[in-house]
Structure 1
Amino acid sequence: MTIFRFPLLVWLGIGILITSLGIRQSFGIFMTPISDYFHTGREFFSFAIALQNLLFGAFQPFVGMAADRWGPKRIIVAGAIAYALGLYLTSITTEPTMMFLSLGVLVGFGLSATSYVIVLGAVAKVVPAQHAAKAFGLTTAAGSFGMFAMIPGAQTLLSISDWQGAMQIFAVMCSFMVLFAFFIKTAKQDTHSAHPLQEDLQTLKGALKEAFSHRGYWLIHIGFFVCGFHVMFIATHLPSYLADKHISASTAAMALAYVGIFNIGGSYFWGAMADRYSKRYVMSALYLVRTAVISAFVVLPTTDMTAVIFGAAIGFCWLGTVPITSGLVRQIFGARYLSTLYGLVFFSHQLGSFLGAWAGGFIYDYYGSYDPIWWSAITLAFISALIHLPINDRPVPRLSMATA
């Protein structure tokens, strides 16, 4: 199946992710202007973003269950409205603690209802299993294209206006997600046929019990925790880290944009590799690449050139974990409750995101340096490369018997 023959739902999901994740990945650009406006340290804004990511993950299992039961359309519309409201309230607040509600709670819920778990859960129901990881990779890459488009856009808006106006423009852009959601249609599960699949007959309680008793499922949780730690620390703190090294704001924005543009090809590449080779080995290889890239960036002198090269290199293995992780969950447990099971895994990802975003600011304010957190990121990447090797990625006996 070529990328041009994927169902319409895949392309609608791409449009939603470009908007949702593109806006989200630009928040690091706002750290300095918002911190200066409210006269707070970096930890304050870091905590608001960390809270957003924690709630993004905490809402995810429940949003996934709702999407499995009522379909993704209603969930995405509700999430887009909450997302827009959170951005608008952030732009008009005069009290910095209000950002915990607006940028934290409302945007956190909005992200949970408009991002990977909901979109990939819908895609899994319309794409054949043998092409799932490739479709997941293409859909994941959409978020990176949004990052490539939104971050320079945010930087441009900040240069000609103020951060409040940029937030309001982003709030208006959330209406695109509502428009895309209205065209989403997924086939209903047929549980009334003469020979329904065992997957269709499984209950939510049974699916949770099956997953929680599988050791590989917990190893997937740990690996995705590490991924969340990496991506949110880098997305939130890389511009400030580069500023400390006397690198211009435009170069920092370009480095983050390169993360997005190179992840477009990287996500599709890793997804295609996961369709062709063992997903656990592909994931291990990805984390080894990430270990080498971060190590080189920390050890080598920081210049305009190394900053941009780092953005491109880390972008290549940035969110390639998403199609492999979601593909592993589908391969082991099936597509019926993918939104729920992957939603729980994504909560672990967001716990890592919370720690990465908050700890980056805390360690900087305490030590006056980001070095300890960079070396922690390197260590975690190497550990994650190792823990994926023993995962048993064969379909559970229930699916094996159904296939036979």
Structure 2
Amino acid sequence: LAIATAAGSAGQVFGAPVAEWMLSFMSWQMTFVSFAGVILAMLLTLPMMRAPAMASRAELEESMGQILGKAFRDPSYTLIFLGFFSCGYQLAFITAHFPAFVTEMCGPILAGGALHNIGITTTSALGAVAISLIGLANIAGTLLAGWAGKRYSKKYLLAGIYVGRTVIAAAFIMFPITPLTVILFSVGMGALWLATVPLTSGLVAHIYGLRYMGTLYGIVFFSHQLGSFLGVWLGGRMYDIYGSYTGVWWVGVAVGAFSAIVHLPIREKRLEGLVTA
């Protein structure tokens, strides 16, 4: 899962700068269509995938209803669900609003010639570089998280990641925003960007088994998407009201600290009564 997640970030590394380059000579509509064509081409890889092996008889003895009932009654599952909310909030807010935030805060600095010597002449270019750096750092961070999750407690690793995000976001918003701090923030946050995915999904599989992991992780991921919705919507709403993103950043800091705390009481061992293959 860490390898697959890291591979997804490779597209982020190239996607933002390529989009910025394409917008220099074609409309945003044609840029969208071009990316849509690339996505459709990726569908050609689906027939090459192998179907998974059938589940064993022992695994099939326990129904989905039974495992869902056990998971929903388990406080640890609720804590995992709640903890994943902030991941969605932070990632979606940054992805949707960070380029606009960079434009607002760094426009005057770049207009004065800062970073022109390395080819960053506009705030949109700096925003594209920032998103690309997040993806690049995420490749290393996610692979490291997958490696560590195999050897150390997943809940403590997750708590540490959320603490790291909280500290990085708080430091970024407290200090003056410059192109340098934007780049440093992108690398630091990028290293923790999707590192939660292999650890969260691995924690679900570790506690509840693999048979219905897709369903159980899908429900947990719903919490992630609720956070994503709130991060994108609240970012725009609060900016319209207050003319600043500062409040939304501090909400992200608070929910990150909340996620770090709720992971600590999780009971990280296989739920009793589950059938093992």
TM-score (normalizing by structure 2): 0.91
* Alpha-carbon distance in 2 for matches of 1:302, 1:328: 36
Q: 1:385 to 1:190 in 2, by over 3 A?
A: closer
How big is the shift at 1:337? Answer: 1.1
* Alpha-carbon distance in 1 for matches of 2:25, 2:185: 28
- Picking from 349, 356, 362, the partner of 2:224 is 349
Partner of 1:265: 140
Partner of 2:9: 144
Partner of 2:272: 397
Partner of 1:256: 131
* Alpha-carbon distance in 1 for matches of 2:70, 2:253: 33
SS of residue in 2 equivalent to 1:395: coil
The question of whether the paired residues in 2 share the 8 Å contact of 1:360 and 1:373 is answered with yes
- Aligned AA for 1:213? R
Q: 1:190 to 1:260 in 2, by over 3 A?
A: closer
How big is the shift at 1:380? Answer: 1.1
How big is the shift at 1:190? Answer: 4.2
Partner of 1:300: 175
Q: Which structure 2 segments of 5+ residues have no match?
A: 108-122
How big is the shift at 1:179? Answer: 1.1
Alignment of 1:22-37 (within 5 A): none
1:330-350 Cα shifts (integer Å, max 9, x gaps): 001111111111111111100
- Picking from 78, 92, 95, the partner of 1:232 is 92
Partner of 1:58: none
* Alpha-carbon distance in 2 for matches of 1:281, 1:171: 39
- Aligned AA for 2:23? L
* Alpha-carbon distance in 1 for matches of 2:271, 2:51: 25
The question of whether the paired residues in 2 share the 8 Å contact of 1:233 and 1:360 is answered with yes
SS of residue in 2 equivalent to 1:246: helix
How big is the shift at 1:388? Answer: 0.2
- Aligned AA for 1:151? A
* Alpha-carbon distance in 2 for matches of 1:293, 1:190: 43
Matched, 1:313 2:180: no
Partner of 1:163: 28
Structure 1 stretches of 4+ with a deviation exceeding 6 A read none
The question of whether the paired residues in 2 share the 8 Å contact of 1:189 and 1:200 is answered with no
- Aligned AA for 1:179? L
Partner of 1:215: 75
How big is the shift at 1:168? Answer: 0.5
* Alpha-carbon distance in 1 for matches of 2:207, 2:30: 46
Percent sequence identity is: 39
C-alpha RMSD of the superposition: 1.3
1:230-250 Cα shifts (integer Å, max 9, x gaps): 000000000000111134211
1:271-324 Cα shifts (integer Å, max 9, x gaps): 111111010001011111111110111011111111111111000001101001
* Alpha-carbon distance in 2 for matches of 1:326, 1:189: 21
SS of residue in 1 equivalent to 2:89: helix
Partner of 2:114: none
Q: 1:224 to 1:161 in 2, by over 3 A?
A: same
Partner of 2:159: 284
- Picking from 200, 218, 229, the partner of 2:60 is 200
How big is the shift at 1:170? Answer: 1.2
Partner of 1:188: 53
Partner of 1:131: none
How big is the shift at 1:205? Answer: 1.3
* Alpha-carbon distance in 2 for matches of 1:338, 1:384: 21
Alignment of 1:3-22 (within 5 A): none
Q: 1:363 to 1:190 in 2, by over 3 A?
A: closer
How big is the shift at 1:188? Answer: 2.8
SS of residue in 1 equivalent to 2:136: helix
Partner of 2:111: none
- Aligned AA for 1:140? T
* Alpha-carbon distance in 2 for matches of 1:203, 1:189: 15
The question of whether the paired residues in 1 share the 8 Å contact of 2:146 and 2:198 is answered with yes
* Alpha-carbon distance in 1 for matches of 2:41, 2:172: 37
Matched, 1:379 2:244: no
* Alpha-carbon distance in 2 for matches of 1:205, 1:173: 39
The question of whether the paired residues in 1 share the 8 Å contact of 2:99 and 2:128 is answered with yes
The question of whether the paired residues in 2 share the 8 Å contact of 1:274 and 1:282 is answered with yes
- Aligned length in residues: 262
Q: 1:190 to 1:275 in 2, by over 3 A?
A: closer
Q: 1:190 to 1:238 in 2, by over 3 A?
A: closer
Partner of 2:203: 328
SS of residue in 2 equivalent to 1:174: helix
* Alpha-carbon distance in 2 for matches of 1:385, 1:190: 35
SS of residue in 1 equivalent to 2:259: helix
TM-score (normalizing by structure 1): 0.63
How big is the shift at 1:176? Answer: 2.8
SS of residue in 1 equivalent to 2:150: helix
